[in-house]
Chain A
Amino acid sequence: MLEREIAYYESIKDDLIRHHEGKFVLIIGNEQLGVFDKSEDAYQRGIELRGNVPMLIKQVRQHETIEMIPAMVLGLINAHV
């Protein structure tokens, strides 16, 4: 899943952090297709340029955010005793 795009992001991450920290970068394949203020703008540009294809829109950050969904992860959404 998006392995190529993630590898490319990692290869340019330092440069992105220096110049665009906090912005959203759009990557499809091995190509950086722009840097945007909002994720929605990046998505729109990706659709305009390449259509409905997998794309990596990533907020440029030094440290990754970990999302937490404990009820789902632990299988407790519908748990009853």
Chain B
Amino acid sequence: MPTYNRFCLQPSPPGQPTGVPHPQGMAVTGPVLEVQIEIPSVLAQSLQAANSPIPNSVTGIALIDTGASITSIDVSIATRLGLNPNGIAMVGTAGGAQQQPTYQARLSFPGTALPGFEHPKVLGCNLTGQMVMNQQPIIALIGRDYLLHCVFVYSGGAGAWSLSF
């Protein structure tokens, strides 16, 4: 079972890692990791067969959001990848349920042993302006539809979390 462990450590002078846990830092950033979003394999094969260019993948930060029932990506990423919607989802808001587009997309986690996956329905939503860790944009929220395949441990006091797939 591939496992990814993430530790949030106290900032230190350049070249001098402290190795001291930083629970408050993790409370601010939350459980985040690098994510790469690509077009679905079946679409890549179709474009390749037609000698059409395959859009470059987009890399950014994903936040594991245990409050979210569905995984979502910033809708601008879907546009950059040239994805068309494959459906709609009803999303609960304070003003009642709203329709939002869904997309099939491939998500992977560079630099980890976690397997990438082809997600049949990620929600397109507006994550503009959501920044963490030196102003890196959050481009995806990993929801419970992904976590249902995983063991997710959040150890707040230790400034650490882990995800086993």
| Interface set of A (CB-CB < 8 Å, partner B) | 1-2, 6, 38-40, 43-44, 46-48, 51-58, 64-74, 77-78, 80
Contact = CB atoms under 8 A, between A and B. Distances in A.
A53 B90 contact: no
Give the 5 A-B CB pairs with smallest separation, nearest first: A39-B120, A69-B68, A67-B70, A54-B84, A66-B92
A54 B69 contact: no
B1 interface: no
Given A77-B63, A77-B138, A47 B92 contact: no
B46 A78 contact: no
A5 B86 CA distance: 11
Interface in B84-118: 84-94, 97, 99, 101, 104, 118
Contacts of A74: 94
A67 B88 contact: no
A78 B68 CA distance: 15
Contacts of A58: 87
Given A2-B87, A46-B86, 11 more contacts: A39-B104, A47-B42, A52-B84, A56-B87, A56-B88, A67-B70, A69-B67, A72-B125, A73-B93, A74-B94, A77-B141
Interface string B39-78: 0101100110000000000000001010111101000000
Contacts of B92: 66-68, 73
A25 to B, nearest CB: 10
Contacts of A77: 63, 65, 127, 130, 138, 141
B123 interface: yes
Nearest to A58: B87
Given A1-B101, A71-B65, A6 B88 contact: yes
A66 B132 contact: no
30 contacts: A1-B99, A1-B101, A2-B88, A39-B104, A39-B120, A39-B121, A40-B104, A43-B40, A43-B104, A48-B46, A52-B84, A55-B85, A56-B87, A56-B88, A57-B86, A57-B87, A57-B120, A64-B97, A66-B91, A67-B68, A67-B92, A69-B67, A69-B68, A69-B72, A70-B67, A72-B72, A73-B91, A74-B94, A77-B127, A78-B131
